[in-house]
A and B are shown apart, each in its own frame.
Chain A
Amino acid sequence: MSDLDAFRAEVRAWLETNCPPEMREPVREEGDVCWGGRNWEFKNEAQKQWLEACVAKGYTVPDWPKPYGGAGLSPEETKVLKQEMKRINARSPLDSFGIWMLGPALLKFGTEEQKVHYLNPIARGEIRWCQGYSEPGSGSDLVSLQTFGEDKGDHWVVNGSKIWTSYADKADWIFCLVRTDKANKYQGITFMLFDMASKGVTTKPILLISGNSPFCETFFDDVEVPKTQYIGEINRGWDVAKYLLGHEREMISGGGAGGDMVSIGALFAKSLGKNDHGELDDPILRAEMAAFDVDVFAYRAMGERFMDMWKTGRAHPASSNMMKYVGTELNKRRHELVMSGGGSEALEWDSEETKGGARARGWLRTKANSIEGGTSEVMLNVIAKRILDLPGA
């Protein structure tokens, strides 16, 4: 038996003992996802138990080094762990912007002291983070940021506001882009971290078309941030932000067409019915669904090629923009078809059978895919300029 096979057997046995049956059910609603943080209330005992078991083993962040709360697994071992968790439909023990976004940035740009200090609470789900990038006047155009940190010697005094801050009202800390030099457009931004409980921080949830409020407006009024709480170099926050946006795009585009996306036509065989030839009973919708399936299978092949090339340094640095663009547009198309395939049932907004209008809300939610993390139009601009080398206006 190879080391990897032995590891797989070990993981399998561990999961058998430690993953409660309730955590092997599909996620049905918001509360099923464990976000952690100072104010987190576990939905049930199983959710708590599952998080604690994974924390003890380093499995919330399996590929992070052990001193930072991870399990120090190799990429191959991490893959095995993911496969084994998927095999039993185990829920993610902890979802977190700290894991997806801040963590990778800290691992790359943080000092040793910062890594130990910030990464461990992320891995344990103790501190829930939010991201302060966009501002009312600057969405994708981050260089036009106005939130300003005035230099007061050992600290900054931050004033301004952020928008589209995901779960800011529930987060404990924020990682935030703050202008610290008004003269320099690109190199006058610092990547700061601070406690949302600091004096002068307020948040206001924004009700969205999906009926949910995952995003907030966030206001900073003379917030004091110690000079120790920044990542990378002062005025070079752009480097950190760009690195982190790459991760965000990968995540959004991955959600776009990755995961367990089964053939969409097969999903609706029941609600649409089939004709005598065993074909969906709506030839035009069948054709659209099949054309969509072609694009999904094709996008998956692209995802595989992109990852293979990315890992070996063969991919164009801007190809993540292309993946984001194609993946998010595909996901929006999928949800349009989900609504068509579901017919009047998919319209129900609050019935128990539709799990609280999950399809309708999900459809509306996807409209943000091509806006958040940089709009499709911005992605196309980047491809045109950086890959195709088309002239600037």
Chain B
Amino acid sequence: MPLYHNDDQAMLKDSVAPFVAEQAPVLHLRKLRDEADATGFSRDLWAQFTEMGLPGMLVPEAHGGLGMGHMEAGIVLEEIGRNLTPSPFLATSVGAVAALAKAGGTQAGRWLPAIASGEAIIALAIDEGAKHRPDRIATTATRAGNGFRLDGKKSFVLHGHVADMSIVAAKTDGGITLFAVPKDAKGVTADPRRLVDSSLASHVTLDGVEVDADAVIGEVDAGGEILDALLAATRTGAAAEMVGVGQGAMDMTVTYLKERKQFGKLIGEFQGLQHRAAHLYGEMEVARATVMKAQQLLDEGSEGAKLMVSVAKAKAGRAANLAVREGVQMHGGIGMTDEYDIGLYMKRDRALAEYMGDVHYHIDQVARMNGY
């Protein structure tokens, strides 16, 4: 498989890119922010996403989806990133779908069609502290009555306060188990916080939450593999979105270099800035290739996918971070103003960089996977 978009994928991009740019440009984010919107995204926009079949891209056809791959989902995520579009696409249509499709069973049968039809928003309740440490989950699930009792605290749960269902990772006697916790479950409280990028993420408290035995996603104690699938998909998706954020910031900046005059010259004529812009271009191209490679390996179900996913999250993190920092710096004073969009790119990048493991976490993973 060549590492570029084939004709079908190019066609998908040709329809998604103008759609997102027209329906949800940066102005869309500003509007939600200025109105202090309590949902965190636009339901109307999600309905438009649904008309295009996007929420169910990764949902298997048997469950009413399009049965596409991570390469295709990445095309949507890149445009979401480029336009800073607030959307539940990453958590719901990528992370949750990967877990449910991997697990199969009752919960897959219940939720996958609902995701494909645009009816269900899903939250991923994995993290518990300030940093992403999925190997140290302390939330417990103990057997009670016909099912389980969940206790613990979750953090950085995107859409947690509005999600129809949350996938909760908890410790059981013999390992990790994932649970589908519905919105109205007793004992669940979601406390949404506005983040630096204007998105909403919740602190979720699980206080003696009782769920039936069939709330288990997959098998009891065997959630590790499903969690891995969820993490691989979400991390790769976040990396793809970061490539979009970085590309958007870089494009804005390069355009600015060609327009802004100082000392009687276009600032893009200065070699000091040209070299930094060219270096950034190289980093962005490498990051893009890396994310595509991770998507391809995930789609092939390759063993090398796990390593490349961490490489992609780390590399995209570094490149997009460079893009937004250079973006603000090269815009000069105007880059510090709220009126200009470049600062919004910096904010979104910061949130995505932290989501599902930051650069340092993934660099450490690469060292471990290489045996040192």
Binding site for B on A (CB under 8 A): 263, 265-266, 268-269, 274, 278-280, 286-287, 289-291, 293-295, 297-299, 301-302, 304-306, 308-309, 312, 314, 319, 322, 325-326, 377, 379-381, 383-385, 387-393
- Contact A301:B3 (CB < 8 A) given known A293-B370, A391-B258: yes
Docked CA distance A379–B282 (Å): 11
**Majority SS at the chain B contact face:** helix
Are B372 and A286 in contact, with the CB atoms below 8 A?
yes
Q: Which residue on chain A has the smallest CB distance to residue B276?
A: A380
Residues of A near B43 (CB, < 8 A) are none
**Majority SS at the chain A contact face:** helix
Residue among B257, B278, B287 making CB contact with A298, cutoff 8 Å: B287
Binding site for A on B (CB under 8 A): 2-4, 254, 257-258, 265-266, 268-271, 274-275, 277-279, 281-283, 285-290, 292-293, 307-308, 310-312, 314-315, 318, 360, 362-364, 366-367, 370-372
Residues of A near B318 (CB, < 8 A) are 294
Are B371 and A384 in contact, with the CB atoms below 8 A?
no
Q: Which residue on chain A has the smallest CB distance to residue B280?
A: A388
Docked CA distance A298–B269 (Å): 30
- Contact A390:B254 (CB < 8 A) given known A298-B287, A325-B282: yes
Known: A263-B372, A294-B310. 6 other contacts (CB 8 A): A279-B372, A297-B290, A297-B308, A298-B312, A322-B278, A325-B278
Say how far B243's CB is from chain A's closest CB, in angstroms.
Answer: 12
- Contact A269:B3 (CB < 8 A) given known A291-B363, A390-B274: no
- Contact A304:B372 (CB < 8 A) given known A294-B314, A297-B308, A390-B274: no
Residues of A near B281 (CB, < 8 A) are 322, 383, 387-388
Total contacts A-B at CB 8 Å: 146
- Contact A301:B282 (CB < 8 A) given known A265-B370, A289-B367, A381-B274: no
Residue among A278, A305, A390 making CB contact with B4, cutoff 8 Å: A305
Docked CA distance A280–B371 (Å): 9
Are A391 and B285 in contact, with the CB atoms below 8 A?
no
Docked CA distance A297–B265 (Å): 40
Q: Which residue on chain A has the smallest CB distance to residue B270?
A: A393
Q: Which residue on chain B has the smallest CB distance to residue A272?
A: B372
Are A301 and B2 in contact, with the CB atoms below 8 A?
no
Q: Which residue on chain B has the smallest CB distance to residue A319?
A: B285
Docked CA distance A279–B370 (Å): 10
Are A390 and B275 in contact, with the CB atoms below 8 A?
no
Say how far B365's CB is from chain A's closest CB, in angstroms.
Answer: 9
Residues of B near A289 (CB, < 8 A) are 367, 372
Residues of B near A380 (CB, < 8 A) are 274-275, 278-279
Are B371 and A266 in contact, with the CB atoms below 8 A?
yes
Docked CA distance A309–B318 (Å): 24
A266, A289, A384: residue with the most chain B Cβ atoms closer than 10 Å: A384
Residues of B near A326 (CB, < 8 A) are 282-283, 286
- Contact A322:B282 (CB < 8 A) given known A290-B363, A298-B287: yes
Residue among A266, A291, A388, A392 making CB contact with B277, cutoff 8 Å: A388
Are B3 and A305 in contact, with the CB atoms below 8 A?
yes
Docked CA distance A147–B91 (Å): 64
Are B370 and A295 in contact, with the CB atoms below 8 A?
no
Are A279 and B308 in contact, with the CB atoms below 8 A?
no
A299, A301, A380, A384: residue with the most chain B Cβ atoms closer than 10 Å: A301
Docked CA distance A299–B363 (Å): 15
Q: Which residue on chain A has the smallest CB distance to residue B365?
A: A290
- Contact A298:B372 (CB < 8 A) given known A322-B282, A380-B278: no
Docked CA distance A390–B280 (Å): 14
Docked CA distance A298–B370 (Å): 15
Are B311 and A287 in contact, with the CB atoms below 8 A?
no
